[in-house]
């Protein structure tokens, strides 16, 4: 019985090492993005505080803003393009989980099926804040 347990432990350890190497490789190559929750983020809708959370990448060029309004939650993805313009899209039925870290891949990102949004001229993304108009026409501001 001990030999079987030792063999299973070795197999588990090898699988763990292979998984760590593949995640590290895909992160270094830019295939995987890490979104980390911002613990002190505050979110307002039309100037009124609301509950929700912000997950952002280390560079801050991409983030998910999740708004918890009574009866439903909705996640928006904001990205800074290479030309310096911010773009926002609704994530449809996908809602960012409450996990402190979210890994997303470039081949199957969660907000792949974007919802139509109002105009991108209303989008502002800085190192510590994001402002945009939601799909229902409300002004959302997130600060961290």
Lowest mean pLDDT, pick from 32-36, 46-50, 71-75, 110-114: 110-114
Question: In the beta sheet, which residues pair with residue 74?
Answer: 67
Query: What's this model's pTM, rounded to 2 decimal places?
Result: 0.80
pLDDT, greater one: 133 or 21 = 133
Q: Please, which pLDDT band fits residue 109 given cuts at 50, 70 and 90?
A: confident
Residue 137's pLDDT band (cuts 50, 70, 90): confident
Q: What is the pLDDT of residues 6-55, one digit of tens each?
A: 888 888 888 888 888 877 776 677 778 899 999 999 999 999 999 999 99
User: What dihedral angle (degrees, nearest 10) is formed by the CA atoms of 29, 19, 92, 144?
Assistant: -70
Q: Give the β-pairing of 48-56 and 32-37.
A: antiparallel
- pLDDT value at position 135? 82
DSSP assignment of 70-132, as one string? TTEEEEEEEEE-TTS-EEEEE-TT----S-SEEEEESSS-TT-SPBP-S-GGG-EE-SSEEEE
Encoded tokens for 74: 């909705």
């Amino acid at each position: 019985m001990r030999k079987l347990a030792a063999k299973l432990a070795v197999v588990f350890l090898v699988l763990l090492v292979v998984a760590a190497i593949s995640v590290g490789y895909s992160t270094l190559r830019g295939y995987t993005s890490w979104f980390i929750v911002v613990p002190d983020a505050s979110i307002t809708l039309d100037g009124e505080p609301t509950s929700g959370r912000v997950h952002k990448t280390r560079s801050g060029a991409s983030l998910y803003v999740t708004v918890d309004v009574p009866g439903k939650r909705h996640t928006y993805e904001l990205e800074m393009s290479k030309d310096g313009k911010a773009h926002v899209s609704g994530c449809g039925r996908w809602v960012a989980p409450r996990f402190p870290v979210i890994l997303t891949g470039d081949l199957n990102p969660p907000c792949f099926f974007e919802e139509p949004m109002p105009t991108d001229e209303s989008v502002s993304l800085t190192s510590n804040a994001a402002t945009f108009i939601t799909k229902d026409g409300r002004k959302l501001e997130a600060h961290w």
